[in-house]
C-alpha cells in the first residue's frame, strides 16, 4: 500500500514536472545560455557588444591602436585593456574621414596653455591620440625639429591636433629641440625624432614637419603613401605656386611623409648639414638614388601657411655638400648618428631635448 501511494505521488509529481516543463522550457533554455556565456566570459573569450561577436572579426588590444605604446599616461589603460578579459571590436575607419572641413583658418597667435585647456581632455599625455569610434587606418608619428621657437608651438598644436583628429589617425607628436648653441641641424634632429619614435611604435609612417608650416586644407590626408610624399607643395612664402612647376622643382622642405621602410632604405637624413638649407635637397637625392619617387598631392589641397620668423644663419657649405652627396648615404645617416636625449611627456606633446654633437665634431661627418 505504501508502495502504491509512493508510485502515485511520483506519477502525480511527474505530471506537474511535465506541465511545468511544457510551460517554462524557454526560461530554462535562456538560463542555461546565460550561464554558459558567463563561464566563457570568465575564460576570456566573449567580448563586448553582446553575444553577436564573431571570433574572426575580433581584434585584441595587442593589434589595436594602443599597440606598442609606452607613454606613462596610457600604461594603466593599456594594462587594463590588454587583460585577456577584453577584446575590442571596432570597424575600420572609412577611407575618407567623415568630419573633414576643407579650407582651414590658421591662427598665428595662441598660447600652449590655451590649447591645453581645449585639447587636454581628448589628447593623452605625450600628445597621443587615436579615434575611439573606429580602428585607425594609419599610425603616424609627427616629428617637429625646433629651437628658439616657443611662440610657434602653441599655433602648431592648436592647428595640428584637431587636423589629425578629423583625419582619424592614430598619432603622436614629438618635438625635438636642439640643445646647445651650435648651428641648427634640422636633419640630425629628424633622425633623433625618428629613432626615438620607433622605440614607441610601431608607426606606419612619419611626418617630418616644420613647426612653422601649417596645412590649410584637411583634405590633405596624412595617410601613408607607397612612395615618400612631399607635403608642403604650395606655400604662402612662395605665393602658393606649385613646387613641381617652380624652376627649383626638387623642393622637399617644410613637411614630408615617409614610411619607416623608405627612411631606412636611404639611411635616414644626412648628419652633415649645419645651418639653414640643403638637407632636404640631400634627402631628395637619396630618394632618387635608391629608385624611389617623390609623390605630391595637387597644390589646391597641399597648401600651407608658413608663419614668418627671423631668418636663420645659412649653411655656406650646402652646395659643396650636395655636389658630393651621391652614394654617400650608407656612411652618413641613421647608422652613424651619435646623440643623447632627455624625454619629457607634456600634456600635448613629447619633448625630446637632443644633444647631437657639435658642427666641429666629425662624428658621422664623412664627406667624400
Q: How far is the CB of 256 from ligand BGN (least distance, A)?
A: 11
Q: How far is the CB of 197 from ligand BGN (least distance, A)?
A: 22
Contacts 24+ apart (CB under 8 A), 39-42: 41/85, 42/85
When asked if residue 209 is in the footprint of ligand BGN (CB under 6 A), the reply is: no
Q: Which of 286, 318, 328, 351 binds ligand BGN (CB under 6 A)?
A: 318
Binding letters toward ligand BGN, positions 114-153, x by CB under 6 A: ----------------------------------------
Nearer to ligand BGN, 69 or 176 (CB): 176
Q: Looking up cell 561577436, which residue turns up? A: 53
Sheet of 213-215, strand order:
213-215, 303-306, 234-235
When asked if residue 253 is in the footprint of ligand BGN (CB under 6 A), the reply is: yes
When asked if residue 306 is in the footprint of ligand BGN (CB under 6 A), the reply is: no
Q: How far is the CB of 318 from ligand BGN (least distance, A)?
A: 5
Scanning 33-41, 109-117, 272-280, 349-357 for contacts with ligand BGN by CB under 6 A, the matching segment is 272-280
Nearer to ligand BGN, 66 or 303 (CB): 303
Rg (CA), the chain: 29
Q: Which of 216, 281, 332, 365 binds ligand BGN (CB under 6 A)?
A: 281
When asked if residue 188 is in the footprint of ligand BGN (CB under 6 A), the reply is: no
For residue 109, give the C-alpha cell: 597667435
Scanning 40-48, 67-75, 213-221, 278-286 for contacts with ligand BGN by CB under 6 A, the matching segment is 278-286
Nearer to ligand BGN, 252 or 297 (CB): 252
> How far, CA to CA in Å, does 291 sit from each of 284, 288, 349?
11, 5, 34
Nearer to ligand BGN, 208 or 297 (CB): 208
Strand-pairing partners, residue 146, are 177
Q: How far is the CB of 235 from ligand BGN (least distance, A)?
A: 8
Scanning 25-33, 99-107, 192-200, 274-282 for contacts with ligand BGN by CB under 6 A, the matching segment is 274-282
Taken in order 213, 265, 278, 353, is the CA torsion positive or negative? positive
Across 266-303, b (16+ Cβ under 10 Å) vs e yields bbbbbbbbbbebbbbbbbbbbbeeeebebebbebebbb
Q: Which residue is nearest to ligand BGN (CB)?
A: 253
Cis peptide bond upstream of 203, omega within 30:
no
Rounded-to-integer distance, Cα 178 and Cα 341, Å: 10
When asked if residue 277 is in the footprint of ligand BGN (CB under 6 A), the reply is: yes
Compute how many residues bind ligand BGN; rule: CB under 6 A. 8
When asked if residue 280 is in the footprint of ligand BGN (CB under 6 A), the reply is: yes
When asked if residue 278 is in the footprint of ligand BGN (CB under 6 A), the reply is: yes
With residue 159 as reference, give the H or E element that holds it: helix 150-166
When asked if residue 210 is in the footprint of ligand BGN (CB under 6 A), the reply is: no
Scanning 164-172, 273-281, 298-306, 350-358 for contacts with ligand BGN by CB under 6 A, the matching segment is 273-281
DSSP 115: H
When asked if residue 357 is in the footprint of ligand BGN (CB under 6 A), the reply is: no
Q: Which residues bind ligand BGN (CB under 6 A)?
A: 251, 253, 277-278, 280-281, 318-319
Amino acid at each position: 500500500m505504501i508502495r502504491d501511494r509512493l508510485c502515485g505521488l511520483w506519477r502525480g509529481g511527474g505530471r506537474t514536472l511535465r506541465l511545468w516543463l511544457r510551460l517554462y522550457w524557454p526560461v530554462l533554455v535562456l538560463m542555461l545560455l546565460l550561464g554558459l556565456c558567463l563561464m566563457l566570459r570568465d575564460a576570456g573569450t566573449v567580448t563586448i557588444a553582446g553575444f553577436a561577436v564573431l571570433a574572426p572579426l575580433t581584434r585584441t588590444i595587442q593589434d589595436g591602436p594602443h599597440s606598442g605604446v609606452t607613454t606613462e599616461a596610457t600604461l594603466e589603460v593599456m594594462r587594463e585593456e590588454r587583460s585577456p578579459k577584453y577584446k575590442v571590436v571596432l570597424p575600420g575607419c572609412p577611407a575618407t574621414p567623415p568630419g573633414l572641413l576643407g579650407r582651414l583658418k590658421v591662427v598665428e597667435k595662441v598660447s600652449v596653455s590655451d590649447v591645453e585647456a581645449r585639447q587636454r581632455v581628448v589628447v593623452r599625455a605625450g600628445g597621443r591620440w587615436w579615434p575611439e569610434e573606429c580602428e585607425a587606418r594609419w599610425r603616424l608619428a609627427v616629428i617637429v625639429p625646433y629651437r628658439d621657437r616657443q611662440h610657434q608651438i602653441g599655433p602648431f598644436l592648436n592647428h595640428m591636433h584637431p587636423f589629425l583628429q578629423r583625419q582619424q589617425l592614430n598619432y603622436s607628436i614629438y618635438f625635438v629641440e636642439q640643445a646647445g648653441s651650435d648651428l641648427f641641424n634640422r636633419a640630425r634632429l629628424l633622425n633623433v625624432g625618428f629613432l626615438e619614435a620607433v622605440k614607441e611604435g610601431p608607426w606606419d609612417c612619419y611626418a617630418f614637419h616644420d613647426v612653422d608650416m601649417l596645412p590649410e586644407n584637411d583634405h590633405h590626408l596624412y595617410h601613408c603613401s607607397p612612395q615618400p610624399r612631399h607635403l608642403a607643395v604650395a606655400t604662402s612664402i612662395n605665393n602658393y605656386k606649385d613646387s613641381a612647376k617652380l624652376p627649383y622643382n626638387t623642393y622637399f622642405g617644410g613637411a614630408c611623409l615617409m614610411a619607416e621602410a623608405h627612411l631606412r632604405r636611404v639611411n635616414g637624413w644626412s648628419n652633415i648639414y649645419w645651418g639653414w638649407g640643403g638637407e632636404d635637397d640631400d634627402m631628395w637625392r637619396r630618394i632618387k638614388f635608391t629608385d624611389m619617387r617623390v609623390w605630391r598631392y595637387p597644390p589646391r589641397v597641399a597648401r600651407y601657411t608658413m608663419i614668418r620668423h627671423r631668418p636663420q644663419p645659412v649653411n655656406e657649405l650646402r652646395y659643396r655638400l650636395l655636389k658630393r652627396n651621391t652614394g654617400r648615404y650608407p656612411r652618413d645617416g641613421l647608422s652613424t648618428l651619435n646623440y643623447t636625449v632627455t624625454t619629457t611627456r607634456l600634456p600635448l606633446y613629447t619633448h625630446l631635448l637632443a644633444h647631437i654633437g657639435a658642427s666641429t665634431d666629425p662624428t658621422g661627418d664623412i664627406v667624400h
